Structure 1
Amino acid sequence: MFSINKILRENIKNLTPYSSARDEYQGEASVFLDANENAFGSPLEQQYNRYPDPLQYHVKKRLSEIKGVPPRNIFLGNGSDEAIDILFRSFCNPGVDNVILVPPTYGMYQVSANINDIAVKNVPLTEDFQLNLEGIAEAIDDNTKLIFICSPNNPTGNSIDRTDVETLLANFNGIVVVDEAYINFSRQKTFIQELTEYANLVVLQTLSKAWGLAGLRIGMAFASEEIIEIMNKVKPPYNINEASQQLALQALNNIEQVNSWIKETLIQRDKLVLGLKEFDFVVDIYPSDANFILVKTTDANGIYDHLVNQGIIVRNRSKVELCEGCLRITVGTPKENNILLQTIQNFK
């Protein structure tokens, strides 16, 4: 049976979070002399002399309307990377606890574990890039606090079998983190709908991919109110700046534009796959539920260098376990995709 108190670090249980000026006063006022801000303004057209809302209420309220989740179940971070780091710092004791990763997967889980001095148990995906449930079960011990699952997975592009994830959620007494950075491009439904069923579920999403806001650095975590409260307690007081909050609010009112881009991305993804299949040095193109494709080739290094020399940058994943000989290629605009195909055609 999952119990948050059993896996929460003792120092976090007893932590008194920093109380900012904006935490201590909430309401309407005309004179703010509490936070040692510059009262005269900013040397900019837009005024940023006041500290931002530490809990980003207006952004969460808008996300709540879009996602169908109460604001109290939403955490906003400086990218999903901040949410990942906070989960380590909240639930994993350095030098004692461990987490399970299922490579090939998003590399930041390993980096964050290393930074926080948390041991990693790697249980590689199967040959068809699905979970090895038996291997995961064998790897779990009393000090296993987190399991990270990226779905759709980066760099393979496929979605992880839903029933396998549910099996982990139902049987693991720690937290299962489902990273859905690419969910907007997927045929699979989000795990956000399962939050009321599983107290140990954390779902990560981002505004960096389909929403086109990578430069604003806004990641989202959806979880139980208990887990969100802990994450808010551990985070820096003003982790999302005012400019990012205001621009995110503007963007979140343009859902039709984003949906149009998603549809076009999927069309271009199919065209890119068909184009790449024409080349005899392309061995395989794996099915994708994301805005990128993983392409197995006979000479990944050679093709990568050829593209770089022409000013075209893709991701060489050939040294990643189970991705030998592979390039990860993001779906671009029709013009960018055509340039890519024309350039590859000249590779010898």
Structure 2
Amino acid sequence: MFDLNKLLRNNIRQLVPYSSARDEFKGEARIFLDANENSFGSPLPTDYNRYPDPMQWKLKYKLADIKGVPPQHIFIGNGSDEVIDVLYRALCNPGVDNVILCPPTYGMYEVSAHINDVVIRQVSLTEDFQLDMPALQQAIDEHTKLIFVCSPNNPTANSINREDIEVLLNSFEGILVVDEAYINFARQKTFIQELTEYPNLVVMQTLSKAWGLAALRVGMAFASEEIIQVMNKIKPPYNISQAAQELALQALENIAQVNEWIRETVIERDKLAASLEKLPLVVKVYPSDANFILAKTIDAKAIYQYLVTLGIVVRDRSRVELCAGCLRITVGTPEENEKLIAALADYKIEVGSIK
């Protein structure tokens, strides 16, 4: 049976969080003399001399309306990377506890584990980029605190079988993190609606992809109120700036525009995949549920370098497990995609097939 209290590190269980001036005062006031801010303002057109809401309540209430969950079930991080780091610090005793990762997948799970001195157990995906369930079950032991599953997965672009994720949720006594950074482009529905059924579930999403706010660094975690309270204890008091909160709120008013971009991206993704499949230098185009495509080529490194000379940057993933010869290509605008395909077509003529 899931018991969060048993999973937490002792120091986190006993932690008394920092209480900021904006935590202690609730309500409205005209004169703020509590936080040692600059009372005269700031040199910017908008005054940013006051500390922001440390719990980002306005932003959480707006997200709650969109996502259909209470705001108390939302954690907002400085990008999803902060969410990952906070989970490690909450649960994993350095050098003792372990995390299970399923490569090829998002690289920050591993980097953050190393930073926090957490033992990594890698259970590779199958050849069709799905979870190896027997190997996963075998890898779990009493020190396994976290399992990260990215769906749709980066860099493979496919969704992970929902039934396999549900099996893990029902059998694993630690916390399963489902990273849905690319869920807006997928056919599969979000796991957010399953939070009431699974107390050990954390769902990560972001405003960096479909919402186009990568520069603001706004990541989200959806979980039980119990888990969110622990995460709030650990995060820095003012982890999301006032400017980021304001701009994110403005963006969240434009759902229609974002939905239109998602629709256009999916259309362009399918067109781009079809065009890539026709090129002699492309060996295989993998199915995509994201805003990018993984394509196996005859020589990923050489093609990558060739594109760079033309001012076109893709991602060489050829050294990643199960991705030999692969390039990861973000879906661009119609004009950008056409220029990419034209450049790749010319590569065949100019360079020829490279062994």
Band the TM-score falls in, shorter-chain normalisation: over 0.9
Q: Equivalents in 2 of 1:335, 1:279: separation in Å?
A: 18
Q: Equivalents in 1 of 2:138, 2:275: separation in Å?
A: 43
Q: How far off is 1:277 after superposition?
A: 1.2
Q: Equivalents in 1 of 2:257, 2:124: separation in Å?
A: 38
Q: How far off is 1:346 after superposition?
A: 1.3
Q: How far off is 1:330 after superposition?
A: 0.1
Q: How far off is 1:127 after superposition?
A: 0.5
Q: Equivalents in 1 of 2:137, 2:145: separation in Å?
A: 13
Match of 2:174 in 1: 174
3-state SS of paired residue (1:99): strand
Q: Equivalents in 2 of 1:167, 1:124: separation in Å?
A: 18
Match of 1:29 in 2: 29
Match of 1:279 in 2: 279
Letter in 2 for 1:181: A
Which consecutive unaligned segments of at least 5 residues does structure 2 have? none
Q: Equivalents in 2 of 1:200, 1:326: separation in Å?
A: 35
Q: Equivalents in 2 of 1:199, 1:36: separation in Å?
A: 40
Q: How far off is 1:345 after superposition?
A: 1.0
Q: How far off is 1:274 after superposition?
A: 1.2
Q: How many pairs align?
A: 348
Superposed CA offset, 1:236-275 (max 9, x none): 0000000000000000000000000000000111111111
Q: How far off is 1:67 after superposition?
A: 0.2
Letter in 1 for 2:245: Q
Q: Equivalents in 1 of 2:270, 2:133: separation in Å?
A: 31
Q: Equivalents in 2 of 1:255, 1:181: separation in Å?
A: 17
3-state SS of paired residue (1:16): coil
Q: Equivalents in 2 of 1:277, 1:234: separation in Å?
A: 47
Letter in 1 for 2:123: V
Q: Equivalents in 2 of 1:179, 1:18: separation in Å?
A: 28
Match of 2:231 in 1: 231
Match of 1:138 in 2: 138
Q: Equivalents in 2 of 1:123, 1:95: separation in Å?
A: 19
Matches of residues 62-77 of structure 1 in structure 2 within 5 Å? Answer: 62-77=62-77
Letter in 1 for 2:191: F
Q: Equivalents in 2 of 1:239, 1:87: separation in Å?
A: 15
Q: How far off is 1:223 after superposition?
A: 0.1
Match of 2:183 in 1: 183
Matches of residues 107-186 of structure 1 in structure 2 within 5 Å? Answer: 107-186=107-186
Match of 1:58 in 2: 58
Q: How far off is 1:84 after superposition?
A: 0.3
Q: Equivalents in 2 of 1:95, 1:282: separation in Å?
A: 43
Q: How far off is 1:322 after superposition?
A: 0.4
Superposed CA offset, 1:256-313 (max 9, x none): 0000000000011111111111111111000000000000011111110100111100
Matches of residues 180-329 of structure 1 in structure 2 within 5 Å? Answer: 180-329=180-329
Match of 1:97 in 2: 97
Q: Equivalents in 2 of 1:145, 1:137: separation in Å?
A: 13
TM-score by length of 1: 1.00
Q: Equivalents in 2 of 1:125, 1:345: separation in Å?
A: 32
Q: Equivalents in 2 of 1:275, 1:327: separation in Å?
A: 15
Letter in 2 for 1:9: R
3-state SS of paired residue (2:154): coil
Q: Equivalents in 1 of 2:142, 2:278: separation in Å?
A: 51
Letter in 2 for 1:121: R
Letter in 1 for 2:134: E
Q: How far off is 1:196 after superposition?
A: 0.2
Q: Equivalents in 1 of 2:30, 2:299: separation in Å?
A: 65
3-state SS of paired residue (1:43): coil
Q: Equivalents in 2 of 1:279, 1:130: separation in Å?
A: 27
Q: Equivalents in 1 of 2:162, 2:6: separation in Å?
A: 27
Superposed CA offset, 1:119-158 (max 9, x none): 1000000000000010011111110000000000000000
Q: Equivalents in 2 of 1:278, 1:9: separation in Å?
A: 53
Q: How far off is 1:53 after superposition?
A: 0.1
CA RMSD of aligned residues (A): 0.4
Match of 1:49 in 2: 49
Q: How far off is 1:6 after superposition?
A: 1.1
TM-score by length of 2: 0.98
Match of 1:342 in 2: 342
Which consecutive unaligned segments of at least 5 residues does structure 1 have? none
Q: How far off is 1:186 after superposition?
A: 0.3
Letter in 2 for 1:35: A
3-state SS of paired residue (1:205): strand
Letter in 1 for 2:99: V
Q: Equivalents in 2 of 1:276, 1:302: separation in Å?
A: 17
Letter in 2 for 1:243: A
Q: Equivalents in 2 of 1:345, 1:285: separation in Å?
A: 16
Structure 1 ranges of 4+ moved more than 6 A? none
Letter in 1 for 2:97: D
Superposed CA offset, 1:154-199 (max 9, x none): 0000000000000000000000000000000000000001000000
3-state SS of paired residue (1:346): helix
3-state SS of paired residue (2:62): helix
